[in-house]
Chain A
Amino acid sequence: MKMRRSIYTLLLIFAMSALLAGCQSTPIVETVVVTQIVNVESEPQTIVITPTSEPQKESDTIVIGGLGPLSAPGNYEAGTEMLQASEMAVREINEAGGILGKQVELIFGDTEGLPERAAAVTERLITQNEVVGLSGEYHSGQGLVEYEIAHNYGIPIVFAEVWADAVTASQYPEVFRIAPTMEYYSTISANYMVEAGWKSMVFIAEDTDYGHLQTEEWTRQLAGHGVTDVQTIFADAATEDFTPILQRIQQKPPDLLGIALTGVGTGRILRQACDLGLAPTAQTAVYAADAQYPEYWENTGACGNYAVFTYVGLPKSLWNERTRAFMENFQETYQHQPGGHAMEAYDAIYVLLNAIEKAGTTEPAAVINALEVLEYEGVLGKIWFEYGSHNALPEGEKAWLWHQWPTPNVFILQYTEENQSVEDAAVVYPPERSTGPVYTSP
């Protein structure tokens, strides 16, 4: 009887946790069971990448920290690629002799897509591992926690794929970013949607900081163009069955079905919308945020064709020598085609380590000064930070331009053939870079 009561209690706790997860207005934690699993660990999980040659003593090593999700509910697909790209950058630098005559050690913290874990991992990297700089991160929700901690300890941090405007808008001296901001990205994608002539749009977005910030920005920007028939539907990123809501949307098919879910959700919505005959059709186009993975076609089949998607890397038509070398080395090492976030993670490591080399020391203030004036030719093109203490932000300019790479890559691509690779997908926006028509309809 006692055992039965305790089982009931446990099941009720599980059920109530799920209920709370579904009810919170701006939830960040996505999956209850998984959250409990990863939180059982007493110490944040870290992966240590050993230098190629053993340092003689601890002071002969420059220790830097990497951040990104390697476990659910975070987008561990993206996080794994970011880890691999960071690892590759550190290995190359060590093979070339290291920085300031020392080998580099990367300690990569698994932020799990959870703000509390991101806080614990960042704190640990700074206080216990004594990293001299941080780089990486994929999710805005975690970046919003990490930049405050880095600022509190005065440690420079170069964000690779965090879009929330607030990160650099904070104008903290320690915070740098090479990813697009939400406003920058949304301006390009909203302009594209207007250019494509879509008047009514329904977005299915993940119920996270990213999903909320993204759709709020789209709605605001589209309204500026006079497009007001815009509806947003939020979903837990782990949702399996979208059919009921797609059937609801089908009652009045929009011009565009937008998907702002990262990970496996993209494929699920696409297939289910396709099975219902909702999209992609001549009437309803599909915009999929996360269609760049090689597994995309396996998960969508023919339903994935004609999807329009965003790419924050460099399309093949714009590759430079470093991009080409990175893509070849990455595929050779990991047998996987990397996404744009991997390019960003790779460049973020180089940006941080180049600044340390230019500073001639790991002292944070000197590294921050070096970052401000750094010009680095990377996989993504030429990276620099236009505004900072070295060049004051003009009045009336966007606050997020502080320590922000002013021209990050944001391209709109479209698959026009089944099983097409990202490299061969048509660049449809911006017009000056396009390699195909604005939109190809089924």
Chain B
Amino acid sequence: MDYFLALTVTGLVMGIIYALMALGLTLIFSILKIVNFAHGEFYMLGGYFTYYLVNHFTGLHPLIAVPIAGLGVALIGLFFELGFIRPIHLDKIERPGEYAILVTIGLSFFLMNIGLAIFGPYPHRPPSFFDAPVKLGFISISADRLTAGVLSVLLLLTLLILINKTWLGKALRAVSQDKQAAAIIGINHLRMNTLGFALGTGLAGLAGALLAPSFGVTPDVGAQPSIRSYVIIVLGGMGSIPGSIIGGIIIGLVESLGAGYFPDPSRGLNYKTAFGLIIFALVLLLRPRGLFGRKEL
């Protein structure tokens, strides 16, 4: 029983962090109607920003560096949206769907290779948030991971309040539902697009910054989290915020329990991603729109 609970806690903490990253992708899809294939690279940038802020520039405590890293990544996202995504919504692009896919995949290549050129090939890790592991009864969990989990919950709650309770959130939801109707009531959908993209990429950056002390950061560190995020948003229902959160937690739990209980231990870890994908395939078979699939936020 202790073993089961230990795996459950591990899966839950990871699932919440997965949800944070997937939520960024969901926001971008809901508002801009595009899939950001460079999401993993924004995650990577969040990790590097924290590392350099703490180790090379300011000597800040990593907890303070995290929001700055998130903001920095959001700014890069904002400029990218203004330069490359906005033309889609100004009807300047002949085949906007294909363009969005190509431009974000291109950004993914660019960021990964520029990361290799600037940051080098060696893995880096910012200092821990807190050093000692935390004992929760019989469960020992890394303080870094627990901190990342708790902060992710706080960020998710803040985001839910922002989306549901503020004028800005209502404006974002309005654009996600119908940009022309939103324009009639005075909402500038172009600004909301920029804001939504910056917010989404900022969340990826925050997830990268929060996990950097646990997993380290390399130029290709975003590959696995981005694949996982695509699975989560389809599993939860594309465009659904609750779906992303529940989807993230499900994937976290399934990966942890699957690796822990798979009959052949030599393959338990290797099939970790596959366990999540089996659930993903089953949900798509039984409920093609995902668990909470809707068209708008």
Q: Give A contacts to B, CB under 8 Å.
A: 2-4, 6-8, 10-12, 14-16, 18-19, 21-23, 31-34, 37, 40, 71-73, 76-77, 79-80, 204, 207, 231-236, 238-245, 247-248, 251, 263-264, 267-268, 271-272, 275-277, 293-295, 298-299, 301
Of the candidates A16, A23, A238, A301, the one whose C-beta lies within 8 Å of that of B224 is A238
Q: Interface of chain B, helix or strand or loop or mixed? A: helix
| Residues of chain B within 8 A of A248, CB atoms compared | 3, 259-260, 265, 268
Asked, given contacts A6-B97, A8-B234, whether A267 binds B35 with beta carbons under 8 Å apart, the answer is no
**8 A-B interface contacts by CB (under 8 A):** A3-B96, A6-B101, A247-B10, A247-B260, A271-B214, A275-B142, A294-B122, A301-B128
Q: Is the CB of B223 within 8 A of A80?
A: no
Q: How far is B213's CA from A271's CA once the two chains are assembled, in angstroms?
A: 10
Give Cα distance in the complex from A421 to B216, angstroms: 20
Give the distance in Å from the alpha carbon of A332 to the alpha carbon of B6 in the complex: 48
Q: Could you tell me the distance in whole angstroms from the C-beta of B211 to the nearest C-beta in chain A? A: 8
CB atoms of B234 and A40 under 8 A apart: no
Chain A residues within an 8 Å CB radius of B227: 14-15, 18, 32-33
Contacts of B125 in A (CB 8 A): 267, 298-299
B126 CB, nearest partner CB in chain A, Å: 9
Contact in complex: A77, B121 (CB < 8 Å): yes
Given contacts A80-B121, A241-B14, A272-B142, are A15 and B215 in contact (CB under 8 A)? no
| A203, closest chain B residue (CB) | B266
Contact of A264 among B123, B211, B267, B271 (CB under 8 A): B123
Question: Residues of B at under 8 Å CB distance from A?
Answer: 3, 6-7, 10-11, 14, 33, 35, 40, 96-97, 101, 108-109, 112, 116, 120-125, 128, 131, 133, 140-142, 145, 211, 214-216, 218-221, 223-227, 230-231, 234, 238, 255-260, 265-274, 277, 280
Residues of B within 8 A of A294 (CB): 122
Known A15-B230, A19-B273, A33-B40; judge A244-B7 contact (CB<8 A): yes
Q: A247-B10, A264-B218, A267-B125 are in contact. Are A234 and B266 (CB under 8 A)?
A: yes
Q: Which chain B residues lie closer than 8 Å to A240 at the CB level?
A: 211, 214-215, 221, 224-225
Contact A31 B274, CB 8 Å, known A233-B266, A247-B3, A268-B215: no
A76: B residues at CB distance < 8 A: 116, 121
Check if A268 sits within 8 Å of B220, measured CB to CB. Answer: no
In the complex, what residue of chain A is closest to B252 when comparing beta carbons?
Answer: A241
A residues in contact with B121, CB < 8 Å: 76-77, 79-80
Q: Is the CB of B223 within 8 A of A234?
A: no
Residues of B within 8 A of A71 (CB): 116
Q: A263 to chain B: which residues have CB within 8 Å? A: 123, 218
Residues of chain B contacted by A245 (CB below 8 angstroms): 259-260, 265, 268-269
Contact of A239 among B35, B112, B272, B280 (CB under 8 A): B272
Known contacts A241-B215, A244-B269; is A33 also within 8 Å of B255 by CB? no
Contact between B273 and A22, CB atoms less than 8 A apart: yes
**Cα separation A263 to B101 with both chains bound (whole Å):** 31
**Known contacts A32-B227, A248-B268: does B216 contact A243 (CB below 8 Å)?**
no
Contact check, B272 vs A244: say whether CB atoms are below 8 A apart.
Answer: yes
- Nearest chain B CB to A75's CB is how many angstroms away? 9
- Give the residues in chain B near A277, CB-CB below 8 Å: 133, 140
Nearest-neighbor residue (CB-CB) of A21 within chain B: B273
A353 to B85, CA, bound (A): 52
Q: CA separation between A181 and B98, bound complex, in Å?
A: 49
CA distance A251 to B260 in the complex (A): 11
Pick from B109, B223, B259: contact of A32, CB under 8 Å = B223
Most buried by A among B40, B120, B258: B120
Closest 6 CB pairs of A and B: A244-B259, A275-B142, A264-B123, A72-B220, A3-B97, A22-B274
**In the bound complex, CA of A19 to CA of B109 (Å):** 22
| CB-CB under 8 A for A19 and B220, given A33-B227, A244-B255, A245-B260 | no
Centre residue among A2, A33, A79 by max chain B CB count within 10 A: A33
* Contact A37/B268 with A15-B227, A241-B14 known, Cβ cut-off 8 Å: no
Assuming the contacts A3-B97, A275-B140, A298-B124, asked whether A34 and B112 have C-beta atoms less than 8 A apart, the reply is yes
Complex contact B270–A276 (CB within 8 A): no
Instruction: State whether A23 and B3 are in contact (beta carbons under 8 Å apart), knowing that A72-B219, A264-B218 are contacts in the complex.
Output: no
| Residues of chain A lying within 8 A (CB to CB) of residue B140 | 275-277
Q: Which B residues are in CB contact (< 8 Å) with A251? A: 3
Q: B203: shortest Cβ distance to chain A, in Å?
A: 18
- Minimum Cβ distance to chain A for residue B269 (Å): 4
**In the bound complex, do residue B133 and residue A276 qualify as a contact, i.e. CB atoms below 8 Å apart?**
yes
Chain A CB within 10 A, most for which of B40, B231, B269: B269
Write the nearest CB–CB distance from B98 to chain A, whole angstroms: 8
Residue in chain A with minimal CB distance to B14:
A241
Chain A residues contacting B218 (CB-CB under 8 Å) are 72, 263-264
* Contact A238–B231 (Cβ < 8 Å): no
How far does the Cβ of B291 sit from chain A's closest Cβ, in whole Å? 15
Task: Name the residue of chain B whose CB is nearest to the CB of A35.
Answer: B223
B10 and A239 contacting across the interface, CB-CB below 8 Å: no
The answer to whether A234 touches B269 (Cβ under 8 A) is yes
Q: A241-B215, A244-B260, A264-B123 are in contact. Are A37 and B266 (CB under 8 A)?
A: no
Question: With A and B bound together, what is the CA distance between A35 and B228 in angstroms?
Answer: 16
Q: Report the separation of the CA atoms of residues A21 and B273 in the bound assembly, to the nearest whole angstrom.
A: 9
A271 and B271 alpha carbons, distance in the complex (Å): 22
Sample of 13 more A-B contacts, CB < 8 Å, known A31-B224, A240-B211: A3-B97, A11-B234, A37-B112, A40-B109, A233-B268, A233-B269, A235-B270, A244-B259, A245-B259, A248-B260, A264-B218, A267-B123, A271-B214
